[in-house]
Amino acid sequence: MSLADQGAPGPTSAGRPRTTASARLRRFGVRVCVLYTVLTVVSSSWALFDGRETDTHLHLLVRLVFVLVGLGAFEAVDLVRSRSTDAPGWLIGVVAYLAALAAILSGLWVFAATGGQLHPDAYRDAFWNFTAVGVGVAVVLIARGWVRGRRRR
């Protein structure tokens, strides 16, 4: 009996076996935890260095939402690319980035519209922080893909 007969996911166009939904979810959860922890440690260290000794719980939750939206966009790119689309990978990545950024800025707008108080530079800060982390994650993923490609040769 073949793997296809057993209900196992078939290979992708690149010849790799497809990842199951539960494995994708576990991998996504680990990535969220790692990135959130790194960002929180960096942000807290920066704040202490800057003389601020407190942080709001709301700020920590907003950081988690940023991480979830950003990594969700990267996961969506990976999912679309694994379905062997004809669109170039960079175009899929740019569209996912723009959609995620729109979601982040819209979330800030909704928060402010419902009575939440934002820092005067909240939109600018959200844009630059989201973009910087997005570029960092993209560089790591591109480097990982490059290294894996070199190992296969």
Taking the whole predicted model, whether its pTM rises above 0.95 is answered as no
- The token duo for 47 is 């704040």
At 68 the three-state DSSP class reads helix
- With beta carbons less than 8 A apart as the criterion, state whether 133 and 39 touch: yes
pLDDT value for 123: 92
pLDDT value for 73: 83
Dist. CA 54–CA 117, nearest whole Å: 17
**Quick one: pLDDT band at residue 127, thresholds 50, 70, 90?**
very high
Spans of all domains in the chain:
56-152
pLDDT value for 105: 92
pLDDT value for 16: 59
Percent of the chain with pLDDT over 90: 6
